[in-house]
């Protein structure tokens, strides 16, 4: 078998066999197939697609490219949660402790942000001392003792995805349904949780721009989960406007703490309640979504969710005083309010443009190893459907200098659309696809 023949087949829209896919994944992981051939192959997949069988074979080959964790030896059922990536998405910081407070073990490996889409690990780094690089044994031990872990991918899980994802990022081959499905599901299968809630984002601030694309991706991931004996619920959620108000690492960490104190933005809390509810149902802690949400609400109201965030931070070496005093987190030297340029109804707060502005301010990376500034970002003061008066604050820019503030202000003004006609609020969820 030769890599070039496999690329030719994909180029000519011929279905690849299991053996060919396994050969390609193994060869690329071991460094025998070079980046330029993998890039050509990824572009052929992006242009010509894959059948469901090919995508399943690709996912399993990538899941088998490294270590696979068996969590059933530690606790009876572990639930994992994964977002396909968005702007202002700090959901994991809330739902992991909250689901644990409801008695559900959660083992989650998170990532850093890339491009306009933020990453949970960067947000957690706003808490000094918090370790995101737990070893395999530490991960398993904490899952067994505390019943909850939120760490980086320190175990060698799905290394084929690690290599391929970095390559796709710089070869314009991220936005492919079979490549996204196999990337996400290979990591989830290797990480070992038996039940998985997928938050599939749809909109201009997501990789899937239309509902049809998001549904296709969700259905594919659920069917791959089925074939691997994992119970999967994929929620289709809005990413046309940022989630919550805060976009930027320390700002998002503060908003997650505020939310666990019961004082977070309504739409973000409703989103967290939906995700936690489905996690509790998959983990068999509740029979109906209404009962699951009531449990989560109770865990919030009693303060147990916040208490579990503190336990998580303590277990992973973080300075827990930052939860009681979030004002200790890094703050940008400049805070500048952008007023509404006109009166009317908000028709759009373009999530992608807001995410790109956060990167411009220094909150995100353009390349994998770029340093980030934890303090900078944007507070988004309005939602689609709100009425604003001219001059009313619509954004607060948290900047490190005047030059980035000026650029960010210009860009944010293009992200907002105000019109005299009323506009309905955007839904949080568009539906779900589930096992069975
Ligand atoms: N998240 C992933 O883990 N992989 C993708 O390809 C896209 C989003």
8: CATH: 1.20.970.10
Kindly state whether residues 146 and 43 are assigned to the same domain.
Answer: no
Q: For residue 349, what are the β-bridge partners?
A: 416
Kindly state whether residues 127 and 226 are assigned to the same domain.
Answer: yes
From ligand 1's centre to the CA of 180, what distance in Å?
5
**d(C-alpha 414, C-alpha 149), whole Å:** 39
The verdict on the CB of residue 84 being under 6 Å from ligand 1 is yes
Q: For 220-278, where are the E strands, in sequence order?
A: 231-238, 246-247
Residue to mutate, 183, 185, 234, ligand 1, most ligand atoms under 8 Å from C-beta: 183
Nearest CA to ligand 1 atom 5: 180
DSSP structural state of residue 18 = H
Which pLDDT score, from 0 to 100, does residue 152 have? 85
**d(C-alpha 39, C-alpha 18), whole Å:** 20
In three-state secondary structure terms, 79 is: strand
Kindly state whether residues 196 and 314 are assigned to the same domain.
Answer: yes
List the Cα angle 306/310/314 in 5-degree steps: 170
**d(C-alpha 164, C-alpha 39), whole Å:** 9
Kindly state whether residues 147 and 255 are assigned to the same domain.
Answer: yes
Kindly state whether residues 301 and 340 are assigned to the same domain.
Answer: no
Helix, strand, coil proportions of the chain in percent (round to 5)? 45, 15, 35
Which pLDDT score, from 0 to 100, does residue 130 have? 96
Strands 148-152 and 106-110: parallel
Considering only the C-alpha atoms of the chain, give the largest distance between any 2 of them, rounded to a whole number of Å: 66
The verdict on the CB of residue 182 being under 6 Å from ligand 1 is no
Q: Name the strand (E) or helix (H) holding 150.
A: strand 148-152
Q: Is residue 308 assigned to a domain? A: yes
**d(C-alpha 394, C-alpha 412), whole Å:** 10
Nearest CA to ligand 1 atom 3: 184
Kindly state whether residues 79 and 196 are assigned to the same domain.
Answer: yes
**d(C-alpha 434, C-alpha 285), whole Å:** 17
Which pLDDT score, from 0 to 100, does residue 116 have? 78
**Residues contacting 20, CB < 8 A, separation 6+:** 1, 6, 9
Q: Is residue 176 assigned to a domain? A: no
Q: Is residue 170 assigned to a domain? A: no
The verdict on the CB of residue 183 being under 6 Å from ligand 1 is yes
From ligand 1's centre to the CA of 185, what distance in Å?
9
Q: For residue 348, what are the β-bridge partners?
A: 417
DSSP structural state of residue 73 = G
From ligand 1's centre to the CA of 378, what distance in Å?
24
Which pLDDT score, from 0 to 100, does residue 162 have? 86
pTM of the model: 0.93
The verdict on the CB of residue 184 being under 6 Å from ligand 1 is yes
Count other C-beta atoms under 10 Å from residue 302's C-beta: 11
Kindly state whether residues 295 and 194 are assigned to the same domain.
Answer: yes
- Residue where a domain stops, chosen among 262, 290, 325: 325
From ligand 1's centre to the CA of 187, what distance in Å?
10
Which pLDDT score, from 0 to 100, does residue 155 have? 65
Kindly state whether residues 262 and 143 are assigned to the same domain.
Answer: yes
Question: Are the beta carbons of 365 and 114 closer than 8 angstroms?
Answer: yes
Q: Is residue 357 assigned to a domain? A: yes
Q: What are phi and psi of 96, to 5 degrees?
A: -65, -55
Distance from first CA to last CA of the chain, Å, rounded? 38
From ligand 1's centre to the CA of 161, what distance in Å?
9
Q: Is residue 128 assigned to a domain? A: yes
**d(C-alpha 85, C-alpha 199), whole Å:** 8
The domain total for the chain is 3
Kindly state whether residues 278 and 378 are assigned to the same domain.
Answer: no
Q: Which of 228, 193, 226, 233 is nearest to 77 (CA)?
A: 193
106-110 β-sheet, strand order? 148-152, 106-110, 79-83, 195-202, 231-238, 429-434
Which pLDDT score, from 0 to 100, does residue 154 have? 66
Kindly state whether residues 351 and 233 are assigned to the same domain.
Answer: no
Q: Tens of pLDDT along the chain (436 residues)?
A: 899 999 999 999 999 999 999 999 999 999 999 999 999 999 999 999 999 999 999 999 999 999 888 888 888 889 999 999 899 999 999 999 999 999 999 999 887 876 777 789 899 999 999 998 888 889 999 999 999 999 887 667 889 998 998 899 889 898 899 999 999 999 999 988 899 999 999 999 999 999 999 999 999 999 999 998 899 999 999 999 999 999 999 999 999 999 999 999 999 999 999 999 999 999 999 999 999 999 999 999 999 999 999 999 999 999 999 999 999 999 999 999 999 999 999 999 999 999 999 999 999 877 667 788 999 999 999 999 999 999 999 999 999 999 999 999 999 999 999 999 999 999 999 999 998 7
- Per the structure, the complete domain to which residue 214 belongs is given by 71-155+185-325
**Residues contacting 344, CB < 8 A, separation 6+:** 387, 388, 418, 419, 420, 421
Kindly state whether residues 395 and 275 are assigned to the same domain.
Answer: no
Kindly state whether residues 291 and 403 are assigned to the same domain.
Answer: no
Q: What amino acid positions are annotated as catalytic residues? A: 82, 161, 168, 183, 187
Which CATH number belongs to the domain containing residue 135 in this structure? 3.40.1030.10
**d(C-alpha 416, C-alpha 409), whole Å:** 11
């Amino acid at each position: 078998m030769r890599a070039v023949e496999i690329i030719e087949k994909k180029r000519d829209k011929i279905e690849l066999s299991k053996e060919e896919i396994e050969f390609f994944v193994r060869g690329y992981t071991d460094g025998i197939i070079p980046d330029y051939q993998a890039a050509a192959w990824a572009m052929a997949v992006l242009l010509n697609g894959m059948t469901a069988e090919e995508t399943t074979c690709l996912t399993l080959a990538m899941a088998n490219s490294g270590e696979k964790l068996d969590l059933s030896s530690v606790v009876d059922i572990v639930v994992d949660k994964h977002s396909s990536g968005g702007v202002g998405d700090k959901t994991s910081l809330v739902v992991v402790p909250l689901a644990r407070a409801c008695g559900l073990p959660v083992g989650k490996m998170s990532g850093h942000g890339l491009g306009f889409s933020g990453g949970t690990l960067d947000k957690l780094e706003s808490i000094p001392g918090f370790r995101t690089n737990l070893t395999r044994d530490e991960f398993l031990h904490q899952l067994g003792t505390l019943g909850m872990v939120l760490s980086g991918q320190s175990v060698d899980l799905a290394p084929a995805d690690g290599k391929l994802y970095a390559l796709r990022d710089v070869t314009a081959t991220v936005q492919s349904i079979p490549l996204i499905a196999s990337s996400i599901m290979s990591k989830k299968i290797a990480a070992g949780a038996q039940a998985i809630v997928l938050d599939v984002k749809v909109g201009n601030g997501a990789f899937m721009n239309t509902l049809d694309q998001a549904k296709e991706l969700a259905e594919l991931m659920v069917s791959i989960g089925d074939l691997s004996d994992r119970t999967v619920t994929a929620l289709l959620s809005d990413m046309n406007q940022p989630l919550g108000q805060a976009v930027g690492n320390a700002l998002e960490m503060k908003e997650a703490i505020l939310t666990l104190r019961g004082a977070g933005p309504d739409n973000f809390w409703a989103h967290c309640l939906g995700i936690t509810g489905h996690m509790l149902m998959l983990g068999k802690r509740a029979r109906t979504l209404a009962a699951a949400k009531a449990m989560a609400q109770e865990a919030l109201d009693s303060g147990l969710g916040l208490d579990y965030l503190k336990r998580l931070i303590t277990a992973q070496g973080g300075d827990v005083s930052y939860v009681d005093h979030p004002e200790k987190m890094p703050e940008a030297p400049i805070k500048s309010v952008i007023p509404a340029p006109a009166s009317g109804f908000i028709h759009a707060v373009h999530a992608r443009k807001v995410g790109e502005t956060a990167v411009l301010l220094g909150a995100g990376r353009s390349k994998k190893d770029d340093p980030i500034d934890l303090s900078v970002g944007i507070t988004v003061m309005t939602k689609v459907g709100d009425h604003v008066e001219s001059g009313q604050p619509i954004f607060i820019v948290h900047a490190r200098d005047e030059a980035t503030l000026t650029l960010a202000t210009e860009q944010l003004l293009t992200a907002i659309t105000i019109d005299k006609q009323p506009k309905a609020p955007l839904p949080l969820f568009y539906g779900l696809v589930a096992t069975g």
